[in-house]
A and B are shown apart, each in its own frame.
Chain A
Amino acid sequence: EAQVTQNPRYLITVTGKKLTVTCSQNMNHEYMSWYRQDPGLGLRQIYYSMNVEVTDKGDVPEGYKVSRKEKRNFPLILESPSPNQTSLYFCASSTVGERLYEQYFGPGTRLTVT
């Protein structure tokens, strides 16, 4: 089954404790992206990757890191989480050529930073 998986689905952590949210897709998609969703703000793109070893900032990259060492995986790293990073996070992937096509979304990771 074609899917995007994220782990963990729920995470409660404390300020400053490094964490990683994993994302994996089995569709051989070139493009992968992370979004955060906050009430009243919709989805905002954090980072995206056009292919292996190619990443770029989205609209709200501060406080986040990513890496794309393999095509299927795109982990999101919070080196020193803060309470303002409490949010619902989504990973997504798609094919890419001349244009970006439909995004396949993961189920989301609800992160709480206390």
Chain B
Amino acid sequence: SQQGEEDPQALSIQEGENATMNCSYKTSINNLQWYRQNSGRGLVHLILIRSNEREKHSGRLRVTLDTSKKSSSLLITASRAADTASYFCATALAYNAGGTSYGKLTFGQGTILTVHP
């Protein structure tokens, strides 16, 4: 089942505006990651926030994590046409049980961001 649910499914803005995407999940996590995908290409890692962190910044990106609400948001400030892409959140859960290590990543369905010049 899909753990990460993203909202909105599509977002269309003008260059210079901010873009906010949200992600909700259902179970415990070790960290939450955001990825970007240009049409049909491989995903590129943007930022990782650990479960004990509440906010993280990287350049024009700001990620928040609220573990009590099981939600995260990705803010892209001062957007550019080159930011046009699909954005995915992914929850990571790694644990040991019975002497065996497990590690699952679960991706959301993604938000398609279009930034108009």
Contacts and interface: CB of A to CB of B under 8 A. Distances in A.
Contact of A108 (B41, B44, B50, B109): B41
A101 B48 contact: yes
B48 A102 contact: yes
B94 A105 contact: no
Nearest to B96: A98
A31 B33 contact: no
How large, as a class, is the contact surface on chain A? 20 to 34
Interface in A35-79: 35, 40-45, 48, 50-51, 54, 56, 58-59
Q: Say whether chain A's binding surface is mostly helix, strand, loop, or mixed.
A: strand
Q: Say whether chain B's binding surface is mostly helix, strand, loop, or mixed.
A: strand
B104 A58 contact: yes
Contacts of B68: none
Interface in A7-52: 31, 33, 35, 40-45, 48, 50-51
A103 B89 CA distance: 12
B33 A103 contact: yes
B105 to A, nearest CB: 6
B108 A100 contact: no
Interface in B73-117: 88, 90, 92-94, 100-110
Give the top 7 A-B pairs by smallest Cβ distance, nearest first.
Answer: A105-B42, A42-B109, A102-B45, A43-B107, A100-B92, A99-B30, A105-B43
Given A101-B48, A102-B48, 6 more contacts: A99-B92, A101-B31, A103-B35, A108-B40, A108-B41, A110-B40
